[in-house]
Amino acid sequence: MSSNQELSMGSYAGIVIGLMIIVGIEVVLTYQHLSVRTLLFALLCLASLEAFVGVMYLMHVKYENRLLFWTIFPATLFVLVLLNYLWPDAYRMARMSLGR
Amino acid sequence: MSQSELTMSTGHEVLMESSPYGMEKKKLGMWIFIVSDACTFATFLFGYGYMRVGSQNWGTPFEFSSILNGIIMTFVLLSSSLSMLAAVRATQAGQKASANKWLGLTMLLGTVFAILHLREWFKMIGEGWRLFYNPLGGAAQFGACFFSVTGLHLTHVISGVIALAFIARGYNQGRYDSSHVETAGLYWHFVDLVWMFVFPLMYLMNAAR
Amino acid sequence: MHDMTAHAAAHHAPPQGFIRKYVFSVDHKVIGIQYTALGLVSAFIGMALSWAMRIHLAWPTASIPFLGTLSPNGAPGGVPTPEYYLSLMTMHGTIMAFFLLTAAPMAGFGNFMLPIHVGAADMAFPRLNMASFWVTFVGFVLACATFFIPDGPPLSGWTAYAPLSAVGAVAGPGQGWGQNLWGLSIALFCVASLLGALNFIVTTIDLRTKGMTLSRLPLATWAWFINAWVSLLAFAVLLPTCLLLVLDRLGGTSFFIPGGLVINDKMLPHSGGSPLLFQHLFWFFGHPEVYIIILPAFGIVAHVMPTFTRKPLVGGWKVITYAMAAIGGLSFVVWGHHMFVSGMSPYMAMVFSVPTLIITIPSVIAVLVFAFSLYGANMRFTTPMLFCLGFISLFISGGIGGFFLAQPAVDSYLHATSFVVGHFHFTMGLSAVFAAFAGFYYWFPKMWGRMMNETLGKIHFWLSFVLVYCVFMTLHLMGLTGSVRRYSQFVADFMVPLTPTNRFITIAALLLGATQFIFFYNVIWSRFKGPKAADNPWQATTLEWDTTSPPPFDNFGGRQMTVYHGPMEYDGDAFVMQTSTEKSIAGT
């Protein structure tokens, strides 16, 4: 099943270096005195980009059957989105402890 | 006994529906495992987020030396992904010596990552950090979140190195082929990509600035 | 679809020797039977625990000698203390929900039947399959071991709500090592369920024999497949929840323990955690869990019913399958309805209430498919069919209670009462048990090669059916009067007049338990003395009836199984096997 020879080792090296550059950007952003909220948003976006590139190229999903893409991403994102239901209670907890 | 093994034992080929995913079953199995493991990591990270949002005076204790250590760890792990890809490529081409070299390098990089990480851990423990204690006086949840999230990841890295060692042995003995190495590679890349979330969320978001 | 020929791999002969054949076996049929046996043992233990609870509720001073022997501290002189009552309740829930209801219909029947249904020789990963069972078994042993440690079992319920479950031995007997063992046991159960789910998914996707397209999959297999996905995502969240709970208990962290807690006059050192986080994470798993329990039940009923109504289900394979898939998906977005009175954000209560009412739509569709399929049926009233009818009845009765509980305003009144106890015993407990009985009576001939006794089966059904209603419908009524769940004694003034009702429930529950011995007797007798089963005693169409009873090691004796029809080719006495080349008679 290894018909995924679309990329040369050179391209892989390029992708990994690209990921390292994104990590570098993350570190630079960290020291820009952004607000916590902005920094978190930026870091999550960059990390998601890294994960997407990693899954698509390093893990070959781009070269597999498209059904695989449409299985793993919706299943994982479904759980990730639902876990966001936790936030209202997390923020209430913060407010309650401030009020004490 | 699997369908393919039945083919051998009965001496004729068994016709099957083609897999809609068009990949070997162990690879599909690994993908499904990765989906569930991603959810497990996500739960830990969301728990960390919950604790952080709900706590007052959350500290940002990481000096640049820790961040630098984290950057080195990240680069080590990313490089190991590259060497893993090279190992898969070598096994597919049937180059046993080259495959061994790259697998060895991958395991070495994984071990270096674990050592760097444990060094960081012991440094923090030496400074008084505990699962339940924050020596800087901020929220005690910091230690709990840091050690549990990175501990879960470290467990994955260490089990990955051990798994790669088994796969490499089986490959050299001729029991495993390139598809086994490729499947192990999927796990390895996954652990690498999880770190792409753990590093910014556990380190960069807690950098002193 | 083009054909794919399997790759050649290493050759495995059937195993020789008792241990490889029956204990550490990789054969899916043996593993299925092991899971089923584990389920039966769990059912017996769980049932015995419920008798002890019921006897204590109805006669608070009565001595139960066995309990006194089991735990001299927990039940001095055989009378359980309030704490020990909660221990009994916890273990009843844990053993029943995890080791019977989650394990038996899915891992028990599923392991045995799913590879045969799709025409495969075994599961996709036989060794992983063996590991799943033995990990489950170790989890079961750990759970049962809590009875024999000095403190006894934990008392925090099968939901193990923090902070009670998280603070350790200070919270009461059983909250020390009992709760530790519980956490470990459930963590192991999670791992086993994840591995099992993975195996089910890959087997269904990759090991289908020629012609077994998705539209021709038997409906039980569809249910197991959908359920495997639900398990995969739900147990992936329970596992870290258990790990965090264990960290709180053994590592000193405070994920789930708030600050300033004083328990038994002792100030706890923890601070900053959130019990709500535990409830969220637990119910993130916990609500899909009740559908993990009921989806295989739907599947078994959908599989068994057409055999005895002698006609396809209304809507063919599609309506019921889509309904099950919708239930599986929606089951993840409703967990907050367990938390209406937990102190959760009231806005979230609304967010969870609406999907809870929406999920009734696919549930009602599924049940109506079963009910409408009876219309014009050429019914054969065999024991499995009776249990299918019992399932429909119980699920509808229990489901109606769900409309009340789905609404935060009504639920606030009913939440901690025995209305809820009656509700979930109907919907996820006994519906699933009745479906499992249907499956058991239906597949027994295939699993052991002998028929079960029909007369005893029918007596078993009718007594169980009537007594189940006596117990759990009455519990609904008790709940409406305000009778609180988890209380070991009814001492409040307004509850005293309910004592006769309570005794009625207890007597019915004991009789219900006694009825199950008819079943146990029937199983043992039929296993050894029952008439030999033909290959296809029910005149059914699916692949398991296309091989010997019990099937050979490789399931089909090396035959190439090629499938031409869907699973519901019935028209009265006429039927067409899935592998038959005859013309379709039901148009499915």
Mean pLDDT by 10 residues, chain C (588 residues): 36 72 91 96 96 93 90 91 94 96 94 96 94 97 94 92 91 92 96 96 94 94 97 97 95 91 89 92 96 96 96 93 96 93 88 91 95 92 97 95 89 92 94 96 95 96 97 94 86 82 95 96 95 94 94 90 93 92 81
Is any Cβ of chain A less than 8 angstroms from the Cβ of B92?
A: yes
**Which of A20, A26, A51 lies closest to B204 in CB terms?**
A26
Contact yes or no for C277 and A79 at CB 8 A: no
Q: String of b and e for C386-414 (b: at least 16 CB within 10 Å)?
A: bbbbbbbbbbbbbbebbebbbbbeebeeb
| B173 interface with C at CB cutoff 8 Å | no
H helix intervals, C95-176: 109-118, 126-145
Å between B37 CA and nearest CA of chain C: 7
CB < 8 Å to B76, chain A = none
Please report whether residue C139 resides in a domain: yes
C10 within a domain of the structure (yes/no): no
Q: Which residue of C has its CA nearest to A84?
A: C280
Query: What's the gap in Å between the CA of B52 and the closest CA on chain A?
Result: 9
Pair of tokens at residue B86: 């090279």
Q: Which of B193, B201, B203 to mutate to test the interface with A (most CBs of A within 10 A)?
A: B193
Query: Under an 8 A CB cutoff, do B78 and A55 touch?
Result: no
**What distance lies between CA C514 and its chain's CA centroid?**
21
- Nearest-CB residue to B209 (from A31, A54, A76): A31
CA angle C149, C153, C154 (to 5 degrees): 130
A74 touches chain C (CB under 8 A): no
CB contact under 8 A, B16 and C3: yes
Nearest-Cα distance to chain A for B181, in Å, is 12
Question: Taking each helix axis from N to C terminus, what angle separates C219-246 and A66-83, rounded to the nearest 10 degrees?
Answer: 50
Whether B46 sits inside 8 A of A51 (CB atoms) is no
Which of C27, C30, C206, C249 should we substitute to test contact with B (largest number of B Cβ atoms within 10 Å)? C206
pLDDT of residue C536: 94
Sequence-distant (≥ 6) Cβ neighbours of residue C17 within 8 angstroms: none
Q: Running DSSP on this structure, what letter comes out for residue C484?
A: B
In chain B, residues 20-39 whose CB comes closer than 8 Å to chain A = 20-24, 27-28, 31, 34-35, 38-39
Unique residue bearing structure tokens 């949002």: B53
A55 CB within 8 Å of a chain B CB: yes
* SS3 readout for C298-358: HHHHHHHHHHHHCCCCCCHHHHHHHHHHHHHHHHHHCHHHHCCCCCCCHHHHHHHHHHHHH
Residues of C in contact with A93 (CB under 8 A): 274, 276
Residues C437 and C434: their CA atoms lie apart, in Å, by: 5
C233/A86 Cβ within 8 A:
no
The CATH number of residue C167's host domain is 1.20.210.10
- Chain B nearest CA to A40, separation (Å): 7
| C274 with A93: Cβ contact below 8 A | yes
Q: How confident is the model at residue A5 (pLDDT cuts 50, 70, 90)?
A: low
Contacting chains of C (3 CB pairs or more, <8 Å) are A, B
Per-residue model confidence (pLDDT) at position B2:
45
Q: How many CB pairs under 8 A join A and B?
A: 136
Our CA angle for B147, B140, C255, nearest 5°, is 70
In a domain, C587, yes or no: no
* Domain membership flag for residue C586: no
Å between C230 CA and nearest CA of chain A:
10
ipTM value of the model?
0.92
Instruction: Answer whether residue C434 is part of any domain.
Output: yes
Cβ distance A79 to C332 less than 8 Å, yes or no, reads yes
Q: C276 lies in a domain? A: yes
Give the closest-approach CA distance of C35 to chain A in angstroms. Answer: 28
Residue C276 has its nearest CB partner, among A83, A89, A97, at A89
Instruction: List the domain range (segments joined by +) for residue C75.
Output: 22-255+271-575
Helix or strand run (H / E) with residue C82: helix C82-94
Judged by CB atoms closer than 8 Å, whether chains meet at A58 and B189 is answered as yes
Q: Which chain C residues are closer than 8 Å to A83 by Cβ?
A: 237, 284
Q: Is A96 on the interface with C (CB under 8 A)?
A: no
Cβ of B26 and C12 within 8 Å? Answer: no
Question: What percentage of chain A carries pLDDT values higher than 90?
Answer: 80
Domain count, chain C: 1
Q: How far is B62 from chain A (nearest CA, A)?
A: 12
In a domain, C583, yes or no: no
The whole-angstrom separation of Cα B113 and Cα C28 is 40
Total-model pTM:
0.94
DSSP state of C249: I
CA B165 to chain centre: 15
Query: Quick check: A2 and B20 CB within 8 A?
Result: no
- Residues 6 or more apart whose CB falls under 8 angstroms from that of C389 comprise none
- Say yes or no: C336 contacts chain A, CB-CB below 8 A: yes
* Nearest-CA distance C541 → chain A (Å): 31
Residue whose token pair is 């519901």: C568
Closest-CA distance of chain B to residue A98, Å: 8
Would the CA dihedral through C479, C481, C486, C490 be positive or negative?
negative
Note whether A41 contacts B: Cβ–Cβ < 8 A: no
Q: Which residues of C touch B19 (CB under 8 A)?
A: 4, 205-206
B3 in contact with chain C, both atoms CB, cutoff 8 A:
yes
Angle at A65 between CA A64 and CA A66, to 5 degrees: 110
In A, which residues are within 8 Å of B58 by CB distance?
A: none
A neighbours by CB contacts (3+ pairs under 8 Å): B, C
Per-residue CA distances from C480 to B42, C5, C157 (Å): 40, 61, 22
B118 in contact with A at a CB cutoff of 8 Å?
no
- C-beta atoms of C241 and B36 within 8 A: no
- Judge: A64–B23 Cβ closer than 8 Å, yes or no: yes
Q: Which domains does chain B have, with CATH numbers?
A: 23-206 (1.20.120.80)
Minimal CA separation from B174 to chain C, in Å:
12
Interface check A81 vs B, CB under 8 A: no
Does the pLDDT at position A72 exceed 80?
A: yes
